[in-house]
């Protein structure tokens, strides 16, 4: 049983890690795009609406893919001052409950956002600005994808702590070494 759970958890976390790497690469593209846009404006006194919109659009996958990667890497927000004082079984319960809440939140947002994405696709929604980006439904489709990844990582997080699997991320491993 534990081996099957381990395979499921590692599979989900591998998916989240891949999207985390993709988010990091998108950060590099965003920096290059912003730098190029600044150079074009100040050196050549020109700019493009699509380039400015793309800058805003690239922030979405960074945030939406990054939130599940933050949970994977142990960078989620929690009150460590209190958490560290709890006994290990209480800490595990908090982690399991937190993972299940992330799973529930992810599923709810996916369910609520799919009709919105579908409506955008059916309309052929694009930028209202002349020279803007078409196919806005592609950007909106990142919402259910990002929250689906959050749900997947929430499940993996809950299972990892419920079955007391060894930590895969450096922060949790370091925290376990600090325990008495």
pLDDT at residue 177 in the model:
55
Q: What is the pLDDT of residues 38-52, one digit of tens each?
A: 999 899 888 888 889
* Average pLDDT in the chain: 91
Mean pLDDT along residues 143-165: 96
Does the pLDDT value for residue 146 go beyond 90? yes
Whole-model pTM: value is 0.88
pLDDT at 179 over 70: no
Instruction: Write out the chain in H/E/C secondary structure.
Output: CHHHHHHHHHHHHHHHHHHHHHHHHHHHHHHHHHHHHHHHHHHHCCCCHHHHHHHHHHHHHHHHHHHHHHHHCCCCCCCHHHHCCCCHHHHHHHHHHHHHHHHHHHHHHHHHHHHHHHHHHHHCCCCCCCCCCCCHHHHHCHHHHHHHHHHHHHHHHHHHHHCCCCCCCHHHHHHHHHCC
Name the percent of the chain lying above pLDDT 90. 69
Q: Higher-confidence residue: 177 or 129?
A: 129
- Please report the pLDDT score of residue 176 as a whole number: 54
* pLDDT at site 171: 63
The predicted pLDDT at position 76 comes to 77
* pLDDT at residue 77, as a whole number: 74
pLDDT score of 61: 97
Rounded to an integer, the average pLDDT of 83-88 is 89
- What's the rounded mean pLDDT across residues 157-162? 96
Q: Is the pLDDT of residue 27 over 80?
A: yes
**Residue 3 pLDDT > 60:** yes
Query: What is the average per-residue pLDDT within 121-138?
Result: 90
């Amino acid at each position: 049983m534990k081996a099957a759970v381990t395979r499921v958890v590692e599979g989900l976390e591998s998916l989240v890690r891949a999207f985390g790497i993709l988010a990091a690469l998108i950060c590099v593209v965003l920096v290059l795009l912003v730098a190029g846009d600044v150079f074009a404006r100040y050196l050549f006194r020109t700019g493009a609406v699509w380039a400015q919109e793309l800058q805003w659009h690239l922030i979405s996958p960074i945030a939406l893919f990054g939130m599940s990667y933050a949970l994977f890497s142990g960078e989620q927000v929690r009150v460590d001052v209190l958490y560290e004082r709890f006994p290990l079984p209480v800490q595990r319960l908090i982690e399991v409950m937190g993972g299940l809440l992330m799973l529930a939140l992810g599923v709810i947002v996916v369910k609520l956002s799919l009709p919105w994405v579908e409506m955008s696709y059916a309309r052929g929604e694009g930028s209202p600005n002349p020279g803007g980006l078409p196919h806005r439904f592609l950007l909106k489709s990142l919402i259910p994808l990002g929250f689906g990844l959050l749900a997947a990582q929430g499940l993996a997080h809950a299972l990892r702590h419920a079955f007391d699997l060894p930590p895969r991320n450096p922060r949790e491993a370091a925290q376990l070494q600090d325990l008495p």
